[in-house]
Amino acid sequence: MKSNQSAQSDREKLFFKYVWDHTGDDFYASFDIPPERKERLLNKAIALMENIQLPEEELVLLLTKLVNDGGAPDTEFLAYVTQIAGYTRSKILSDLDAQKLPRPSSLEGLISKRGKFQTHPSWKRAAAMLILRLREILIHLSEDDWKSRLRALDLATYPGYIRQERAKYIGHYAEKVLAEVLDRLEIPFVPKQKKDNPLYGDVTLELQRESGESEKESFDLIIPHDKEPVIAIKSTIHTSNTGQYGESKDKLEIEKARNLLDELSRKSSRKIILVALADGVGYKSNREALRGLFQYADEVVQFATLWKIPVMAAKELGLGHVTVEFYGTNTDQAEDFSEFINKWEVGLGCNKCDSGKCKEAKIGKIAKVCLLKD
């Protein structure tokens, strides 16, 4: 019989064997390619470029004119020039903070109020900052082919500009994929909106104590619903070094979730399964957090092992028999996770889906999951 330390080591090795290669994921890669810009945006940018040697005050007036689209704020153009200037949405606002100037809560707020064009008190300063950066960049470009030059700038600056938004979406991407799989298999879950919008809000479970006090914990998905939870899912995806704060956060959050679910389980006389949906190379620098997930979660699931969740859900809810067919290099999973497969009575190979009782869902290039309903 293996020691706890040896078993832990084996789990870590398997985790990193199947760690998500986000660089090869189409969803991830799509964020780095900027959209083709509308003619309107290009023409406005060219007007700015052609006048880039004007004095700062005149350029600020020109930029103010360009972001005013007949009384409506052209927030799309503002975002475009902000990107080309090398700023992110939040960086220009934090630079206003550093100068102890008032600032809106969003980039759009610099030129918009209640959907109408209205400049913020700090707009002139923000515009001057944009002009300073734009002048440094654009003054070196030739006029021969402005649109090609703009596209080159777009390709160079877009990945940095979109980085924060991409991080948010990627961090929740696993929830979207899981929600799509559960939906195709007709396994009930909340919130349903996750399959269309991975940033949709979490579900809160609440524990009412006899003292009148309550304790709450949020989960990314609940199966089948929050009124009678059977499986509660916490998602933690890290595609880069999580840093010193991330090292304790994941472990603390999963421990809190475990404690609350244990108390709710005692009240309902049914154990609520806690799943940590965790993946990413960030855990290589964050082993302690990963060990915390293994310690407190009933199951740690990755992109490559998303099939485990519908397996557990179908069994716990009595929905039918699940079979899994692995693709390519993932065929090793049948042996690597044989203990799980035996415990949950998973069939290998989806060859019984000719009947109308069978639902199936593909998980990318990893596997196909089939649910044969009783």
Per-position pLDDT tens, the chain of length 374: 556 666 778 888 998 888 877 666 666 666 666 778 899 999 999 899 889 889 999 999 999 999 999 999 999 999 999 988 888 888 889 889 888 899 999 999 999 999 999 999 999 999 999 998 888 777 766 556 777 777 767 766 776 776 666 666 666 788 898 999 999 999 999 999 999 887 888 899 998 887 778 899 999 999 999 999 999 999 886 655 444 444 456 778 899 999 999 999 998 888 999 999 988 777 777 788 888 889 999 999 998 999 999 999 999 999 998 999 999 888 999 999 999 999 999 999 877 666 567 899 999 889 999 998 87
* Cis peptide bond prior to 191, omega within 30° of 0: yes
Residue 349 Cα to chain centre, angstroms: 31
pLDDT score at 32:
62
Question: What pLDDT was estimated at residue 166?
Answer: 65
Please state, in angstroms and rounded to a whole number, the distance separating the CA atoms of residues 284 and 238.
Answer: 10
The residues that bridge with 360 in the sheet, in sequence order, are 370
For residues 340 and 278, what is the distance between their CA atoms, to the nearest angstrom? Answer: 17
* CB contact set of 273 (below 8 Å; sequence gap of 6+): 230, 231, 232, 298, 299, 312, 316
Question: CA 369 → CA 38, 192, 272, 322, distances in Å?
Answer: 42, 19, 23, 7
The count of residues in the chain is 374
Six token digits for residue 297 = 């979660």
Given the DSSP bridges, would you call strands 347-348 and 320-326 parallel, antiparallel or unpaired?
A: parallel
pLDDT score of 245: 42
> For residue 330, which of 3, 18, 13 has the smallest C-alpha distance?
18
SS in 3 state form for 103-125?
CCCCHHHHCEECCEECCCCCHHH
For the chain, the structural domain boundaries read: 4-28+167-373, 39-161
pLDDT of residue 243: 45
Q: Is it true that the peptide bond before 224 is cis, omega within 30 degrees of 0? A: yes
Q: Which residue has the tokens 């200037």?
A: 85
CB contact at 8 A, 122 and 92: no
Q: What is the pLDDT of residue 250?
A: 77
Report yes or no on whether pTM surpasses 0.85.
no
Burial of residue 133 (number of CB atoms within 10 Å: 0-12, 13-18, 19+): middle
Q: Which two tokens stand for residue 219?
A: 């989960």
